[in-house]
């Protein structure tokens, strides 16, 4: 028995990071699948609605087959799912896709990764965590990275509009809100329950504004758009959430967060290699600085360790 247990532990040391990396890769493909939907005339809000609708139907169907009791929640806890579904998922997706439309996939995915810095600020003010030297360094690095991406400092680059910058940073803010509301929800509910109600709330919130008949008509004009719509919901939403959750059960959150850096890398590669979008030295420096800010958040300062 002891030998079997040891083998299982060794296996998860390999498979846990593998699942996290797969989550980052599939999240990074969002730009690839949303491109065809933008091409047929869908707005960022409509693309977000498709993503939530496909994901929600898939997850709720799975929960109904697996265990219907997981859909039982208390009315007093609806605010948690309003937070994860409307204030986070619906809001950040609209902002993210708008930034992508206004600039490029590479820029949008890099700005999205300002989210851990926002999450750090939330942890200080909402959960009373300490403001450390690591966190101060992370803010400086991320802020400098944004200055490079906007072209305010560094070499001449393809200009980024104010609209693209604002929506890109707001996408990071909305993305961070999922962890905040999710932290409260996880104290009482299964992760499948949280995902199911997150997408239910997101779909309900966007339905009145999405012009559903119009988005169906535009999407179903060609097979490629239909396949992209399904792939966006299944490959770039359901799959990464599942991979990430499984991997997170068997490794530390900080280490998992570092491994998801594959997402902006994949997004950048899709942007440059598939769609031939411009990727300047400014963007590269900005991406490195923002990634470095997250590494700083997850790594203890050596001088602090020595002091202890």
Each residue's pLDDT tens digit, 175-230:
889 888 888 888 899 889 999 999 999 999 999 999 999 999 999 999 999 999 99
- Does residue 266 carry a pLDDT above 90? no
Give the count of domains, the chain: 1
CB 289 within 8 Å of CB 142? yes
Two structure tokens written together for 248 = 């997170």
157 pLDDT exceeds 80?
no
Provide the token pair at 71. Answer: 């859909």
- The CA-atom distances, in angstroms, between 282 and each of 122, 156, 287 are 29, 8, 9
pLDDT category at 159 given cuts 50, 70, 90 is: low
In a domain, 166, yes or no: yes
Distance CA 12, CA 274 (A): 34
Residue-level pLDDT at 298: 65
* Within-domain flag for 269: yes
6 in any annotated domain: no
1 in a domain, yes or no? no
User: Is position 43 within any domain?
Assistant: yes
pLDDT at 272 over 60: yes
For residue 14, name the pLDDT band (cuts at 50, 70, 90).
Answer: confident
What local confidence, expressed as pLDDT, does residue 3 receive? 47
Average pLDDT, the chain: 84
pLDDT band at 158 (very low <50, low <70, confident <90, very high): low
pLDDT of residue 307: 40
Which pLDDT belongs to residue 304? Answer: 39
The structure's pTM equals 0.80
Choose the weakest-confidence range: 42-46, 221-225, 293-297. 293-297
* Ranges 31-35, 199-203, 253-257, 291-295: which has the least confidence: 253-257
Question: Looking at per-residue confidence, does 149 or 49 come out higher?
Answer: 49
Contacts of 189 (CB under 8 A, 6+ apart): 73, 77
Q: Is residue 7 part of a domain?
A: no
Q: Does position 35 have pLDDT exceeding 60, yes or no? A: yes
Tokens 């440059």 -> residue:
272
Q: Let me know: does 290 contact 114? Beta carbons within 8 Å.
A: yes
Reply yes or no on whether the pLDDT at 261 is more than 90: no
The verdict on residue 11 lying in a domain is no
Instruction: Give me the pLDDT at residue 205, please.
Output: 93
Please give the residue range of the domain that contains residue 302: 16-307
Which of the pair, 144 or 45, is modelled with greater confidence? 45
In a domain, 150, yes or no: yes
């Amino acid at each position: 028995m002891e030998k079997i247990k040891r083998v299982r532990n060794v296996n998860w040391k390999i498979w846990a990071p593998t699942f996290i990396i797969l989550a980052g890769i599939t999240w990074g493909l969002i730009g690839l699948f949303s491109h065809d939907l933008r091409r047929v005339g869908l707005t960022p809000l409509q693309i977000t609605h498709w993503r939530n609708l496909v994901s929600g139907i898939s997850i709720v169907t799975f929960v109904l087959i697996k265990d219907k009791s997981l859909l039982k929640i208390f009315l007093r806890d609806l605010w948690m799912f309003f937070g994860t579904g409307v204030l986070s998922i619906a809001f950040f997706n609209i902002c993210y896709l708008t930034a992508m439309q206004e600039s490029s996939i590479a820029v949008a995915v890099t700005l999205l990764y300002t989210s851990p810095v926002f999450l750090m600020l939330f942890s200080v003010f909402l959960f009373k965590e300490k403001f450390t030297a690591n966190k101060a360094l992370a803010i400086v690095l991320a802020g400098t990275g944004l200055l490079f991406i906007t072209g305010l400092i560094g070499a001449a680059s393809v200009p980024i509009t104010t609209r693209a910058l604002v929506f890109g940073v707001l996408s990071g803010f909305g993305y961070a809100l999922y962890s905040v509301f999710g932290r409260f929800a996880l104290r009482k509910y299964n992760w499948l329950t949280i995902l199911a109600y997150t997408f239910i709330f997101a779909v309900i919130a966007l339905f009145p504004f999405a012009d559903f008949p119009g988005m169906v008509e535009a999407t179903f004009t060609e097979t490629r758009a239909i396949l992209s719509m399904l792939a966006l919901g299944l490959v770039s939403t359901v799959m990464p959430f599942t991979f990430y959750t499984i991997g997170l059960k068997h490794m530390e959150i900080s280490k998992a967060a570092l491994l998801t850096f594959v997402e902006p890398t994949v997004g950048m590669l899709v942007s440059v290699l598939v769609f031939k979008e411009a990727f300047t030295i400014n963007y590269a420096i900005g991406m490195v600085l923002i990634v470095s800010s997250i590494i700083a958040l997850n790594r203890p300062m050596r001088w602090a360790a020595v002091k202890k």
